[in-house]
Amino acid sequence: MQNELKSFKDLAVMEVSKTTDGLTKPLNPKSYILNSNRGFSLIELVVVMTIILVVGSFSVANYLNFRNRQRLDLTVREIGAVLRDAQGNAISQQFGDSWGVRFENPASEDDFYAMFVGASYVVASTTRRVSLPLPARFSDPAPGSAKNVIFSKATGLPSASTTIILELASDPSVTRSVIIDDSGAVKY
């Protein structure tokens, strides 16, 4: 080379590239200038991390709420199954007596329901006792009270129509009802 190159720009002008038609043309000299500002600034990283945290926190909160609602729905279905079992036992006159389910909301213990044999609840006649799993709790019966659903032997009809209301402990506005009507149908 006869002339010494004096700058990086001079080198860029001398470089050539092929075009689609096979001809050559000089490259843009600006395309070879090194950009020392590559990468992300600290502010950009902080903004992106903040967005990720906000979206993530909403996602986790929605997932937990969804999971709690699913657990409440499962608890209601389990209570419906226990009521139908008690009714079936009364119809088949198992142990020759009526069957019932007690729903209790004690002030100092976990809420529970219990299936029992007989026309009234006695702890000794309990065949199955289940504590309500968190996050469910009874709204009706009220704290410190209980309700009994007793199915007559042979007919399986309840002594009275009853409604049991469950709610989420974390969000009492989310409720589910189990209804036992006069004909013995269990609805939820």
pLDDT digits (tens, 9 = 90+) for 76-118: 999 999 999 999 999 999 999 999 999 999 988 999 999 999 9
Whether the predicted pLDDT of 170 surpasses 50:
yes
Structural class in CATH, domain 47-187: alpha beta
Whole-angstrom CA distances from 38 to 21, 35, 42, 130 are: 33, 6, 13, 63
The mean of the pLDDT values for the chain is 87
Report pLDDT for 11.
Answer: 47
pLDDT digits (tens, 9 = 90+) for 55-67: 999 999 999 999 9
Q: How far apart are CA 168 and CA 123, in angstroms?
A: 27
Domain ranges for the chain: 47-187
Strand order in the sheet with 175-180: 136-140, 162-168, 175-180, 186-187
Tokens of 18: 């092929």
pLDDT digits (tens, 9 = 90+) for 24-55: 655 555 555 555 567 889 999 999 999 999 99
